[in-house]
Structures are given as C-alpha cells and as structure tokens.
Structure 1
C-alpha cells in the first residue's frame, strides 16, 4: 500500500490569485480596505481602514489576537499611516477571513437591501441602519402611518384602533401591539422602541431585528398584497 510522505503533499494554494475575490467581498460587505500584492508575490496585503474590523482595538496586538483566535495564519503590521496591514499568504487564509470577518456584513447588507426594497415598494417612509448582527428600521411619519401600514400588510389592519398616536401613551401602546404582531410573524421576540417625538421630531417606532428575523419579515412582506 502506497503512502504519501509530507514531502509529496500538495503545497498550500497561494493567496494572490484570490485578489479579485477578496476585493469583491470587501465591496459587498462595505468594509473599507485596500488589497495589494504582498512583498512575496504569492501573498496579499490587506490594509484595513474600516471601523467594521472585528478586533476591538486598532493595534497590531489586537488584530493578531483576533486572527489567532479564529485560526487564521497571517502576519500583522502597521504601515506609515498607522493602519493595520494583514498579510495573507494562502488561499485558505483569504477564504477564512472572508467567511469570518466579511460574511456577516455581506449577509446583513444584502438582507437590509432586500427589506428596504420591499418597504419602498409598499410606499412606506423609513430609515434602515445595519450592523453585523442586527438591522434597525425606523418608521417615522405623520400618525405613524408607515408603522400602521406594515401591520396592515401583515393582516392586522386595525392595530392602531382606539389609540391616540399623538400622545406618548398611545405611541407606546402601538409599539407593544406591533411587537406582539412581529414576534408572531418571525417566530421570536422582536425589539421595538417607541419615540413619541416632540415639536421638531416626528414620532416614530424603531424595529431592531436579527438578520434572520429581518429575512423572515421580508419574505412575509414580499407576499403581502399591495395597497394604496
């Protein structure tokens, strides 16, 4: 029976051929960084500018610790502008960096875009904010019309009945009703905060959903009938 010695094992694939793949993933994740060839032609240097970097402090030590914790074989240095530079030597390291550092942001932004598109298609007024693990949707307009319309699209057209949404108590009670509704729709508790506004700020409800919750909500709204 033939055996394979370590000398016969295939060498690791170099990082350099994945230059375009890494660049595309950074763009999709909206992660500000620059990819360039390393001093070793087979390596890639990743200069990080983004605040989305998963290490807590912008130091080589923090970045190195994060890489080690995630099993990424790479070297870390500071350039002349005191930016973190990660040198990735193998394709496996590039793929793992994308999977661990960028995939959560890629998925979050894709989900947020899909949710924003369906909300826009229904003529709602909203703002969307994205983090790696949550999507926030602020529904703010006169009489909380957009929040009420979301409920109507989810088969609860009378959700604001009996409430004075121009008063703080009415806004808070509407938030409670929307929370119960959305929790039933997505299958887990959704965080809703109420802001009754003031003379210069419109009253609004803010939905804070996990990425999976936002995806389920998007699917429900995609299949909701359009109404005026």
Structure 2
C-alpha cells in the first residue's frame, strides 16, 4: 500500500481564454476530504480534470499539483495513480464483476493471489460470491460498491470524486457516503470531491470551498 501523503494544489488556476474559471490553493491531508461546492458551470469538474491529468486543450492552467514532495503537474494521467469515482459506476460490460475488480490491480502477485484479493474485496462490500456475475445483473447500489472497490484495488495515492452520489436514491446515497468516506479514512487517501449537494460535504466532514457563478 502506498505511504499516505498530502495532495497539494499550489495556486492552481484554470482559464478559458481571458476568463478565470477557478482558482484553488489548498493542502489536503491523508484521509481528509476537501469539498469543492457550487452549481453547474463554475469549474468544479474542470479542476478535477486538471488534477487528474486530462484537462481539455481549450483551457489553460497554471500552478502546481503535488503528492507529498512529488510534482504531478507534468505527468501523464496514467502515471499520477489517482483514483476517480464519477456519477456513473462505468463498469466494463464485457467483463465479469471479478474481471472489473481485477482490471486496475497492480501487476504481479500471481493469478491465484489476484483472485483471492478480488474475493476478499467482494466479501468486504457484502458481495461475496459475485465474482462471476455480469455487471448488468447488479442493482445500482451494488454497481456503486463494485466501482469503489475497483478504484481501491488499483492502489491509488489520492482520490477524486465527481458527484459520486448524485444518481443514487436517498437510502443508497447515505449508505455509499458512509462506505466511501470510511474507506478514504482507512486508506489515508487525500481526497478532492466536487458536488452541488451540501449533504455530501457534511458527510465528508472536511473543509469546504464554495464557488459561485459570480466567481466563475
């Protein structure tokens, strides 16, 4: 497991032409969730894209992104080792549930050990015996849990959450908030979450940066 370290956004500013879309300067401690709140169009997901390493070329960005002492700003997305959770689970339809979980796991360890890790992960989220299932047969809550565990099995060094609970019903939303934030604390993952839902921010329990349309 990677050694936990802070995620640092050092005066990160994103512009669209001459227009400043979003500017953030923050240090996110291991296991902490920094929430970026605001309505659609204020640059929340654009900031996540810059941190993740796939900012669209129509935008320009300045500032630095670091994990501990390591500079990430110029690294390609696949070398940053950041875990992403989106509104949709985005499970691969051509892979089984177990295949989805194994997809992003670090290489090595042998097939048997990888299979054991997948089985243990499924048991951990209440889905023991689901490895051979087609993702299409899962409920919304089950798909969300598999998506979370797939990210964690990839051994990320930090997490990025893009409205991860917005498409769940109220009961599932509360369940997934508890599960996601508990795992973030357990693994010591600095986390940046964007949302328009104040309940998400309250459940995360960390600092909040509020953006408004005037600032965008």
Same fold by TM (over 0.5)? no
What is the TM-score of this pair, normalised by structure 1?
0.25
Higher helix share: 1
- TM-score, normalised to structure 2's length? 0.26
Give the number of the structure whose residues are more often strand, by fraction.
2
